[in-house]
Chain A
């Protein structure tokens, strides 16, 4: 392995998908083994990557650069930093688990695994791209498999999406309602997902093209652009260019995160998707949004990020509260988990918005933690649906007699989701809350409320599914007994608790990625005092030039000042 480990992780699922094309659907075991085999290779390689990544050295490691198009200035430039590494690991874990979760799919098994592998490989590709073109390439590539997975193996959402409050009044997801043309079919969900994501993705593409044009460097390479591109102070349409680019990139990518009010495709998509797809969708696909914002907006436009990131701080409150309340009133298991995901993604935005070491590290760890927690929840919602063919919480109940193992795992997943000490979610949540308290106390209070809400709706769902009187219609339901069925859940639980108890390496890795980024964003380097042109210059490289805080730079005119921690 060694240096080319990223290629193994990226191409193992692709090659697995390619190999599956030549296998007949009449050999389901062979199909499943090839899929599981390629996912296992990717998983092993990413575990190696995670532990071989050197947090002391930091920066981008395991770099691969293959020239792809000279005319357009594109190269397949792969590399991971402390932010990409845990997300790559989360993707491969969820892919591996997802393959086992969908072990019993009988209809067109081969095609299912082909699209699942392509979906996972594309998301992995985003997490390791150091080239704007390939970042977009993989990002857009992950959308079409979602369409087919939802459409072909998904299920209609039926009437589950109706919600009633305690007095029996009908409620509606008001924002979703605007875009909901009255259909609960899976085709509708799939089409909505593709059109929403594509529409916002082209906005991001416009931002990327503007970066390409105005940097004047004829390259899409993020590492070159972040060092050399000077996009500041170009007046356009009454504002400056960097702000326009930042808005395009931020909202373009935040739609997949999904940030309120661009979330309405997401819970519908979750509800219609088969279990493994929901896992990948909520677990890693949503993180493409945060990750791409960090990679593009934070890296290339650090000063604009500092200026405009409060937008995210405002919107994330709505995400948290709104998602939490809808999840509380929803009756469909997957709808609850879907909205809970979109609510929890608000925490990540809060962590990103506060822009300091602790909160941003917390956000990245939260992405990793949430992938596992929500993956577990969706896997079990999928299991319950497979057994009972119902996701309607009021009609279910008392399943703990029939499926004790699932009940126990569900309990753990709920705990993880809430952020119980002992799971990695706890560490992430506490970091986000502590890190953003100084800057955004109101948002932190809202986030706390969100945690309470999470507790409420998850326990409500748990009681609805597993306790109380049992519906005799579902007496044939049975527990996950075979190794194949238990393995994915056990893996995810083990990793979630494992990192919860021993977070040191994860923390070190994430910090090594977050620290230079925060330095870039919060510190501005003054120009050598020639007294001529612009006073404040774009950061070139934090390692070479002594760092000062921007306030100091303005007032004291470039007295070198060493900054050791955050600048609260």
Chain B
């Protein structure tokens, strides 16, 4: 591999969002140290300002069609990287806004909380651009480092500490698997960059290497059988961190999975499709069935997240451009619904102090707004029209049926019905049961903003998805080469005589 560090100014431009955000992060740290009396919520708004600035920069990239590769193809900035960077930044902004109030629960290091969140976001932005196994590994560990600390941020809470420990031990184990997988793959192919592996031969070493890498990434997205850390970690972690954990790392890991399966391993599709079908069926079924038994809303959302990842993997198993479009679209729908649902959980637990499903009794009488928002978020997760989740699921099913994955679709459809049950259990508590304590629930300003954004996203994507489908189709143009022509080419409309 030829490695040159002759960076020109225009090369650095490709790194501008990351550089900008890193500088801004330093600024936040400095402000925190220089003026310790400054209310910590100002730091939150300062971080959000930096994130918005970076978003603006990415929007400019998107409009001006900036793209390119750096460091011998280790770092690429293509349309898909931009999409995922926007996705991660959007999630980070929503998470920071929803933690403004929650941060008061921490006894120490309130300012550093925002720093760690933004740091993880930077790591995930690098993941979105990582185009070889080494840069994937480095950026993955970089982003996870922040999460290890964030998960155990409630220092006095045993559950939070346990969550942190569990996440750390399993996370380190996954990192070890990943590193071992890289060494095997490199030993077999002599390549680290995804696009140069596509001509490799299927040797046992290569297969085991990629299986190990898949296991490590499966750990990140929480697919069965790599999910065991999810419920406890989601339960114990501070709720905004859970919200962050439930969406951003999944997006960042999925972009890598997309690059691995659709670029590096494109020629092995007939083989890996079975792996993905199996993992997808397991994730959907296990997540949905176990979610039925949950009494805690965070655990419920954790298991529902496992099931949702199963749905996403249907799109990956389709292995076409349309499948990747569907994944991106589904993630958008999932972002709004999931962050919104967690925002409601934060708001309710701020008022009540607990997050058992029972505590949602009569929420409709205590706060019609929160109950309505939660209703729509849960129904979107369940996939009920006219909400975003329905279109996302349909998109994925259409992509999969074009590839003939009938078993997978059948299981996916049955799972919609199962998931309907436990989402409706929460709806029943909110709408049908009468509250024990009918006092109204107050919602803070930033919290309201997050919920409004979630509602707007869920409804707009569901009712008018055209701009979003255009966006995701544009973002995955790079995959159109790797797809068999029959799947994307429009057949001739006159079919009758044949």
Say yes or no: B398 contacts A229, CB within 8 Å.
no
Does B431 sit within 8 A of A, measured CB to CB? yes
**A148 within 8 Å of B (CB atoms):** yes
| B485 is an interface residue with CB less than 8 A from chain A | no
Q: Decide yes or no whether B146 CB sits under 8 A from chain A.
A: no
Taking a contact as CB atoms under 8 Å apart, the answer to whether A71 and B473 are in contact is yes
B495-A216 in contact (CB<8A): yes
B440 contacts the other chain (Cβ, under 8 Å)? no
Contact: B496 with A230, CB < 8 Å?
Answer: yes
What is the minimal beta-carbon distance from B493 to any residue of chain A, in angstroms?
A: 6
Chain A residue, CB-CB nearest to B432: A151
Q: What chain A residues lie within 8 Å of B409 (beta carbons)?
A: 206, 209
Are B398 and A212 closer than 8 Å at their CB atoms?
Answer: yes
B395 touching A72, Cβ below 8 Å: yes
B414:A202 contact, CB within 8 angstroms: yes
Binding-face segment, A137-145, A262-270, A334-342, A375-383: A137-145
Residues of A within 8 A of B469 (CB): 69-72
Within 8 A of B (CB), among A42-78: 67-72
Interface contact B416-A202, CB-CB below 8 Å: yes
Interface residues on A, range: 35 or more
Indicate whether A71 sits within 8 Å of B428 (C-beta atoms), given known contacts A213-B402, A216-B491: no
Asked if A401 lies at the interface with its beta carbon under 8 angstroms from chain B, I say no
Inter-chain CA distance A565–B455, complex, in Å, is 55
B385 on the interface (CB 8 Å rule)?
A: yes
**Quick one: closest B residue to A21, CB to CB?**
B372
**Chain B 311-325 per-residue mask, 1 if CB under 8 angstroms from chain A, else 0:** 000000000001001
Contact A195 B496 (CB under 8 A): no
Q: For A199, what are the chain B residues with a Cβ–Cβ distance below 8 Å?
A: 414, 417
Q: Can you list, as one digit per residue, whether each of A130-165 has a CB less than 8 Å from chain B (1) or not (0)?
A: 000100111011011001100110000000000000
In chain A between 200 and 239, which residues have their CB closer than 8 angstroms to a CB of chain B?
202-203, 205-206, 209-210, 212-213, 215-218, 224, 227-230
Q: Which of B27-35, B119-127, B226-234, B419-427 contacts A (4 or more CB under 8 A)?
A: B419-427
A425 in contact (CB, < 8 A): no
Cβ-based interface call for A538 (8 A): yes
Within 8 A of A (CB), among B452-494: 464-466, 469-470, 473, 490-491, 493-494
How far is A151 from B431 in the complex, measured between Cα atoms in Å? 8
Q: Which residue of B lies closest to A539 (CB)?
A: B496
* A215: chain B residues within 8 A (beta carbon): 495
**Chain B residues near A137 (CB, 8 Å)?**
385-386, 390
Residue B270 interfacial (CB < 8 Å): no
Q: How far is the CB of A518 from chain B (nearest CB, A)?
A: 21
**Set of chain A residues within 8 Å of B404, measured between Cβ atoms:** 213
B413 contacts A202, C-beta separation under 8 Å: yes
Q: Looking at the complex, which one of B410, B416, B428 makes contact with A191 (CB distance below 8 Å)?
A: B428
Q: How far is the CA of A224 from the CA of B495 in the complex (A)?
A: 11
Smallest CB–CB gap between A235 and chain B, Å?
A: 15
Per-residue B-contact encoding for A109-140, CB less than 8 Å = 1, 0 else: 00100000000000000000000010011101
* A7 interfacial contact with B, CB 8 Å: no
Smallest CB–CB gap between B289 and chain A, Å?
14
Asked if A191 contacts B421 (CB within 8 A), the reply is yes
Q: Is the CB of B432 within 8 A of A213?
A: no
Complexed CA–CA distance, A205 and B395 (Å): 13
Q: How many angstroms between the C-alpha atoms of A17 and B496 in the bound complex?
A: 44
CB of B495 within 8 A of CB of A206, answer: no
Smallest CB separation, B225 vs chain A (Å):
26
Please, which residue of chain B has its CB at the minimum distance from the CB of A143?
Answer: B384
Q: Which residue of B lies closest to A136 (CB)?
A: B385
Contact indicator A228/B424 (Cβ below 8 Å): no
B394 within 8 A of A: yes
Chain A, range 534-552, C-beta contacts under 8 Å to B: 538, 540
Q: Is A198 an interface residue (CB 8 A)?
A: yes
Whether the pair A141, B432 counts as a contact (CB closer than 8 A) is no
- In the docked arrangement, what's the CA distance between A230 and B497, Å? 9
Asked if B261 is at the interface (CB within 8 A of a chain A CB), the reply is no
Whether B398 contacts A209 by the Cβ 8 Å rule is yes
Task: Identify which of residues 322-370 in chain B touch chain A, using a CB-to-CB cut-off of 8 Å.
Answer: 322, 325, 364, 368
B397 part of interface (Cβ distance < 8 Å): yes
Residue pair B428, A151 in contact (C-beta under 8 Å)? yes
Q: Are A195 and B491 in contact (CB under 8 A)?
A: no
Within 8 A of A (CB), among B391-408: 391, 394-395, 397-398, 401-402, 404
Compute how far the CA of A23 lies from the CA of B377 in the bound complex, rounded to whole angstroms.
23
**A217 to B417, Cβ gap below 8 A?**
no
The answer, among A69, A148, A202, A227, for a CB contact under 8 Å with B465, is A69
Check A455 for interface membership: any CB of B closer than 8 A: no
Tell whether B204 is near chain A: CB-to-CB under 8 Å. no
From B368, B401, B464, B470, give the contact of A213 (CB < 8 A): B401
- Determine the residue in chain B with the shortest Cβ distance to A118: B386
Task: Contact check, A69 vs B466: say whether CB atoms are below 8 A apart.
Answer: yes
Q: Chain B nearest CB: distance from A493 CB in Å?
A: 34
Q: Which of B379, B416, B420, B470 has the most CB of A within 10 A?
A: B420
Contact with A along B61-88 (1 / 0, CB 8 A): 0000000000000000000000000000
Candidates A151, A195, A209; contact of B401 at CB < 8 Å: A209
B498 CB–A CB distance under 8 Å? yes
A390 vs chain B, min Cβ distance (A): 22
Q: Provided the pairs A72-B395, A210-B401 are in contact, do residues A230 and B413 lie with their beta carbons within 8 angstroms?
A: no
- For B494, list chain A residues within 8 Å (CB): 228
A230 to B325, CA, bound (A): 28
Q: Are B394 and A72 neighbours in the complex by a CB distance under 8 Å? A: yes
In the complex, per-residue mask of A223-263: 1 if CB is within 8 Å of any chain B CB, else 0 = 01001111000000000000000000000000000000000
Please determine whether A229 and B495 come into contact, CB atoms closer than 8 angstroms.
yes
Alpha-carbon gap, A195 to B391, bound state (A): 20
Q: Evaluate contact between A198 and B428: CB separation under 8 angstroms.
A: no
CA distance A187 to B421 in the complex (A): 12
Name B398's contact: one of A67, A72, A206, A224 (CB within 8 Å): A72
CA distance A206 to B417 in the complex (A): 13
Q: In the complex, A108 Cα to B464 Cα: how many Å?
A: 30
Considering the chains assembled together, what is the distance between the CA atoms of A230 and B402 in angstroms?
17
11 contacts between A and B (CB under 8 A): A68-B465, A69-B466, A133-B394, A141-B384, A141-B385, A144-B384, A152-B364, A195-B421, A209-B401, A215-B495, A224-B493
Given contact pairs A209-B397, A212-B398, A216-B491, a sample of 6 additional A-B residue pairs in the complex whose CB atoms are under 8 Å apart: A140-B384, A152-B432, A186-B432, A191-B428, A213-B402, A216-B495
User: Top 9 nearest A-B pairs by Cβ distance?
Assistant: A202-B413, A151-B432, A137-B385, A216-B491, A199-B417, A213-B401, A141-B385, A209-B401, A198-B417
Chain B residues with CB under 8 Å of chain A are 322, 325, 364, 368, 379, 384-386, 390-391, 394-395, 397-398, 401-402, 404, 409-410, 413-414, 416-417, 420-421, 424, 427-428, 431-432, 464-466, 469-470, 473, 490-491, 493-496, 498
